Structure 1
């Protein structure tokens, strides 16, 4: 019985993938930076892998004590070292927030 359930799940996964196989996938290209000490929650939400709740936690943290280094982001709940390192190229403590997220088409589908 377990094998049939597993095959059904795998089959549905393959079927679901086939429906979208011809469509190119869009990626998001990020340019600019976010000032951790001045950005709004909406601006922080633009960061890759940062949602509204995580952005609100960053804002709440900096209201208690401003960031002195970008690496201090790991002190905010939900931000480990790996996540911080992924975000680091987009983070700053100086200047204004200039981060923009732009959708770009993914690699062309194989037509062969």
Structure 2
């Protein structure tokens, strides 16, 4: 029983590293915007300042109002998970999950949990008496 629970926890931790959340330019705070590859503190501040004037209607509106965001950077930002009103840039390749520091920590935790599960399974097997031979 313990072995099954430990295995389930290890699996859950391992899959968490692959979760990918999109960041909506109209809803995200500065920290969430900074988490998108290609957006740093300067660009997130510019986005937040422009957003005070009103939400971005679409990608064209974002490109027009925020200095430093043009066609090429919009494609890259969309690939990195940025969306406008829940929509990625039309024609941009599908978003890919970035490998963040948190993902690396999660991978280490998953590896540690896997080792613990293997050790528990080995101990469980050793504790189980062998069936008599016929």
Shorter-chain TM-score range: 0.5 to 0.7
TM-score, normalised by the number of residues in structure 1: 0.54
Deviation of residue 49 (structure 1)?
1.2
1:71 aligns with 2:60: yes
TM-score, normalised by the number of residues in structure 2: 0.46
Deviation of residue 78 (structure 1)?
1.0
Aligned to 1:93, which of 85, 94, 112?
A: 85
Residue 8 of structure 2: aligned partner: none
Q: Deviation per CA, 1:63-107, whole angstroms, max 9, x where unpaired?
A: 11211113322120111110011112421414xxxxx743478xx
Residue 31 of structure 2: aligned partner: 42
- Gap regions ≥5 residues in structure 1: 1-28, 95-99, 106-112
Larger radius of gyration: 2
- Gap regions ≥5 residues in structure 2: 1-17, 87-96, 105-134
Higher helix share: 2
Worse overlay, 30-39 or 72-81: 30-39
The Cα RMSD (Å) is 2.7
The 3-state SS of whatever aligns with 1:102 is coil
Aligned residue pairs total 73
Aligned to 1:56, which of 45, 53, 60?
A: 45
The 3-state SS of whatever aligns with 2:52 is helix
Alpha carbons of structure 1 residues 30 and 74: separation in structure 2 relative to 1, 3 Å: farther
Q: Is the 8 A contact 1:36 1:70 kept in 2?
A: no
